[in-house]
Amino acid sequence: MIDALGQFLQVVELGSVSAAARRVHLSQPALSAAIVRVEQYFGAQLLVRTRRGVEPTAAGEVAVAHVRSLLASLGDAQRAVAEVVGLKAGEVRIGAGATACTYVLPRFLAKFRERAPGVRLRLREATTEELLGDLESGGLDLAVLASEVGVTMPGEPWCDDEVLLVAAPGGARDVFVTFPPGASTRGLLDKHFAGAEVAMELSSIASVKGHVRAGIGMALVSRVAVERDLRQGAMVRVRDPRVPIVRRFWLSHRGLARLSPAALALRELLLAQPPQLRAATRGAKAKSRSRL
């Protein structure tokens, strides 16, 4: 029907079925049949033959305006879809926990923006439960979920992370600074350090680290979040048989068929070269900084 509508406009523009047939490379009977289909669709006679050629009827004049608008909109839609498929436009909504948002995803998102500057990126920091809910409702395209190794989460395995117990040199070792319930590392704390006294529940990893550096207490955090602090001596690793704890990051979505071209491209970038978050070895230097 779309082709027939375009052919109808050609007849109106040229005022001749034969001339229009030549332009659209159809036989005259085939073009006449297309016009009949259009008139049947609208339920009215749209064209009439006069001494000057073929002209639109009153109903035809109304139809012409709307058909032109429709075909123009379809052309815009076609171009917009081509831009999305070609990663010149679109949007990707991704969510993750504090560690992934702050220390893992930024370089990947920056690289993706270089490759597809026309695609809008939206990043949300949230708990695992919130991320799963947003995925299910369609509020997110992709989510980075964390679980202890051995616990399967929905999605594709991405990389492993190492969670350490840290404190300030000479800082308090009898209380914990941590995240509110629902955060991944808070779940590890409640499981592996059951009954531990929590002095502070803070919503940002920067706040957790700031209070640990101030000597308020210990914290269970990803190694990637405290590498610089450990190198600079602002924090030390606390020896405990329960750490390090290895957890796995998963790249979760509602299925490849439901991902936009831009979301598929970001997924491929993330999976192509997963980050190395675990220490290859725990050398003597790291051990020398550990304290009881």
pLDDT-derived band at 285 (thresholds 50, 70, 90) equals very low
Rounded Cα–Cα distance for residues 145 and 125 (Å): 11
Residue ranges and CATH numbers for the domains of the chain are 2-85 (1.10.10.10), 94-289 (3.40.190.290)
User: Residue 288: what pLDDT?
Assistant: 38
Looking at per-residue pLDDT, the higher value among 137 and 291 belongs to: 137
Burial label for 191, CB within 10 Å (0-12, 13-18, 19+), is: exposed
pTM, entire model: 0.73
Task: Dump pLDDT digits (tens) for 169-178.
Answer: 999 999 999 9
Q: Give the length of the chain.
A: 292
Contacts 24+ apart (CB under 8 A), 268-271: 269/108, 269/111, 269/112, 269/115, 270/108, 270/142, 270/158, 271/156, 271/158
User: Residue 283: what pLDDT?
Assistant: 42
Residue with tokens 């075909």: 71
Task: Dump pLDDT digits (tens) for 65-115.
Answer: 898 888 888 887 887 788 778 888 889 999 999 999 999 999 999 999 999
User: Are 132 and 145 within 8 A, CB to CB?
Assistant: yes
Beta strand pairing call for 142-148 and 91-96: parallel
Which element (helix H / strand E) includes 91?
Answer: strand 91-96
User: Residue 289: what pLDDT?
Assistant: 43
- Structure token digits, residue 189: 């704390």
Mean pLDDT across the chain, nearest whole number? Answer: 90
User: Residue 253: what pLDDT?
Assistant: 95
Position 255 pLDDT exceeds 60: yes
Residue with tokens 């006294």: 197
Task: Dump pLDDT digits (tens) for 189-239.
Answer: 999 999 999 999 999 999 999 999 999 999 999 999 999 999 999 999 999
User: Are 31 and 21 within 8 A, CB to CB?
Assistant: yes
User: Residue 258: what pLDDT?
Assistant: 87
- The residue ranges of DSSP E strands in 126-222, in sequence order, are 142-148, 156-167, 176-178, 198-201, 219-222
Highest-confidence range of 5-9, 27-31, 56-60, 160-164, by mean pLDDT? 160-164
User: Residue 287: what pLDDT?
Assistant: 43
Residues of the chain above pLDDT 90, percent? 67
User: Residue 252: what pLDDT?
Assistant: 97
Burial label for 24, CB within 10 Å (0-12, 13-18, 19+), is: middle
Mean pLDDT value across residues 114-132: 94
User: Residue 280: what pLDDT?
Assistant: 58
Tell me the Ramachandran region of residue 58: left when phi exceeds 0, alpha when psi lies from -120 to 50, beta otherwise. Answer: alpha
User: Residue 290: what pLDDT?
Assistant: 43
Q: What amino acid is encoded at 143 in this protein?
A: A
Q: What amino acid is encoded at 223 in this protein?
A: R
